[in-house]
Amino acid sequence: MKHYELAVKFYKEKGPRHDKSLWTIRQKRDKAIKEVPEWESLRVQASEIKDYVIENLQDLVDEFIKNAKNAGIEVVFAKDAQEHNQTVLKYLKEINAKKVVKSKSMLTEECGLNEFLEKNGIEVIDTDLGERIVQLRGEKPSHIVLPAIHTTKEDVAEILGEENTDPTYLTHKMRELLRKEFLSADAGLSGANFLVADKGWAVVCTNEGNADLGAVLPPLHIISVGVEKLVPNMNDLGVFLRMLARNATGQKITTYTSIFGKKENGKRVIVLVDNGRFERLNSEFKETLKCIRCSACLTTCPVFRRSGGHAYRYVIPGPIGSLLAPLSDKEKYKDLPFACTLCSSCEMVCPVKIPFSKQLVKMREYVTKENIALKLAEKSMHHPQAFKLFSTILRLTPKPVLKTALKEWSRYKALPKIPKKRFISL
């Protein structure tokens, strides 16, 4: 099913509530960023740092690998999803791991790691509250920071087999269940929000502290991360840490912001993944590599708020997903760049100033084949007389025919009345 059908279905079930909760978060975010007088100049700074990163990506990768090794972390470079999964499996097999605890990583979702490990007899327990909920429901996350925003407290009670729907009660219940998993896991897997090139460190931001448990308790910690997550140094890191949580949910900073170097009680491995990123550097969509996954563009998107994340069918939904998905599969996701009114709210909230309107329009061009009717219309508009003829034909078209042609419009809205005379009439 395409975005549209899925969106209609979702809206009819849960749309108004979903819209309301995300709009509340958007308002919190608006309030929080207004507490930072230099917010707009921070955005400029963040955008410039990211421009620098993508222009110097290979150098930063080399620098990071060297420094991480010095810091006592093993680093493996993986060129694609398959290589990433194989690498993770290899490390897990070395210690004969049966169960791993994972904290949110969009990259492992991108690579299909959960399914791959399960197939290889390794149990994967997602440990972020929201991720765990969707995992138990047999679903994918619907938002990158609020993965279970599409569910209700009743949905959560149901999967836990509880009658009590009190959110605090349910959270405690889930925590109890997860605690056992942490203590019995053989390895911890996580993503990273940033990699600091000149230190060789990885930075992980979570609100539940679960990534820290996974990183510290088991003897092996594997970090899966895309190359674009690099930042040059700690000063640059500061810029992003100030913006990330504030822009996502209106928090001042993420509750647990941990910087990982050498692992004291075991081994830490970073799998640095390309999976098409270097290639994208040479495309007209290279600016998508600036994304820090704050999720603000999803939350603010008026279409996302009504359609829910699953309608996008890709790991990363919403505006940024509509740019990334077609790059991974042009045919399958060609409807996504059109699931957008080009309102540019995403562009206004984006901390790294990705030029969404321009990129989305380019993406439409990228996924669209030339349409003969539109081509003719375009041609006619080069000649006023031809254009007039073209529009006169449209005017003479009987209303029922027009209604069928514009059925998506006329099903919900009255068609405008066509006046007898034009203003410019030749």
Partner 1 sequence: MKIALHVPCYINELNPEIARKTLLILRHFGLNVSVPKNQTCCGQPFINSGQPTTLPEQFNEIFKDYEYIVSPSSSCTSTIRSQELEVSKKMYELCEFLHDILQVRDIAKNYPKKIALHNSCHSIRHLLEGAPSELNIPYFNKVKKVLGGEIVEAKRDECCGFGGVFSVKEGFISYVMGRSKLDDLISTGGEVITGVDFSCLMHLKGIAEKDGDDIEIKHISEIIYESIFGEEK
Residues 263-302 that bind partner 1 (CB under 8 A): 300, 302
Within residues 369-398, the interface with partner 1 by CB under 8 A covers 370-371, 374-375, 377-378, 381-382, 384, 387, 391, 394-395
358 binds, among ligand SF4, partner 1, none (CB under 5 to 8 A by kind): partner 1
**What are the Cα distances from residue 6, in Å, to 9, 14, 15, 137, 304?**
5, 12, 11, 18, 12
**Radius of gyration of the chain measured on its C-alpha atoms:** 24
Choose which of 207, 277, 366, 403 interacts with partner 1 (CB under 8 A): 366
Cβ distance to ligand SF4 smaller for residue 215 or 225: 225
Q: Which of 139, 129, 215 is nearest to 178 (CA)?
A: 129
Does residue 291 bind ligand SF4 (CB under 6 A)?
Answer: yes
Query: Cβ neighbours of residue 299 under 8 Å, at least 6 residues apart?
Result: 22, 25, 26, 29, 143, 146, 248, 305, 349
Within residues 63-102, the interface with partner 1 by CB under 8 A covers none
Name the one range near ligand SF4 by CB under 6 A: 54-62, 150-158, 290-298, 404-412: 290-298
8 burial class (0-12, 13-18, 19+ CB within 10 angstroms)? middle
Choose which of 28, 173, 358, 403 interacts with partner 1 (CB under 8 A): 358
Residue 297: CB minimum distance to ligand SF4, A:
3
Length of the chain: 426
Choose which of 354, 359, 360, 363 interacts with ligand SF4 (CB under 6 A): 354
Partners of 75 in beta bridges: 270
Choose which of 307, 313, 352, 359 interacts with partner 1 (CB under 8 A): 307
Q: Which of 65, 48, 49, 52 is nearest to 225 (CA)?
A: 65
* Residues 325, 333 contacting (CB under 8 angstroms): yes
Q: Is 87 helix (H, G, I), strand (E, B) or coil?
A: helix
Q: How far is CA 358 from the centre of its chain?
A: 19
Residue 320: CB minimum distance to ligand SF4, A:
4
Residue 291: CB minimum distance to partner 1, A:
17
Name the one range near ligand SF4 by CB under 6 A: 16-24, 214-222, 249-257, 348-356: 348-356
Choose which of 176, 398, 401, 424 interacts with partner 1 (CB under 8 A): 424
Choose which of 297, 311, 325, 336 interacts with ligand SF4 (CB under 6 A): 297
Q: Which of 208, 184, 189, 182 is nearest to 129 (CA)?
A: 208
Does residue 295 bind ligand SF4 (CB under 6 A)?
Answer: yes
Query: Cβ neighbours of residue 380 under 8 Å, at least 6 residues apart?
Result: 386, 387, 389, 390
Within residues 232-261, the interface with partner 1 by CB under 8 A covers none
Choose which of 350, 359, 360, 363 interacts with ligand SF4 (CB under 6 A): 350
Within residues 397-416, the interface with partner 1 by CB under 8 A covers 406-409, 411-416
Q: How far apart are the C-alpha atoms of 281 and 235, rounded to whole Å?
A: 24
Q: How far apart are the C-alpha atoms of 153 and 77, rounded to whole Å?
A: 41
Choose which of 149, 352, 360, 363 interacts with ligand SF4 (CB under 6 A): 352
366 binds, among partner 1, ligand SF4, none (CB under 5 to 8 A by kind): partner 1
Cβ distance to ligand SF4 smaller for residue 75 or 354: 354
Choose which of 57, 320, 324, 360 interacts with ligand SF4 (CB under 6 A): 320
Sole residue written with tokens 């010095």: 70
342 burial class (0-12, 13-18, 19+ CB within 10 angstroms)? middle
Pairing of the two strands 201-206 and 194-196: antiparallel
Q: Which of 25, 59, 64, 229 is nearest to 143 (CA)?
A: 25
Name the one range near partner 1 by CB under 8 A: 78-86, 122-130, 134-142, 340-348: 340-348
302 binds, among partner 1, ligand SF4, none (CB under 5 to 8 A by kind): partner 1
Does residue 124 bind ligand SF4 (CB under 6 A)?
Answer: no
Sole residue written with tokens 């093993």: 74
Choose which of 69, 80, 365, 399 interacts with partner 1 (CB under 8 A): 365
Query: Cβ neighbours of residue 370 under 8 Å, at least 6 residues apart?
Result: none
Does residue 313 bind partner 1 (CB under 8 A)?
Answer: no
Does residue 141 bind ligand SF4 (CB under 6 A)?
Answer: no
Cβ distance to ligand SF4 smaller for residue 174 or 225: 225
Binding site for ligand SF4 (CB under 6 A): 291-297, 320, 349-352, 354
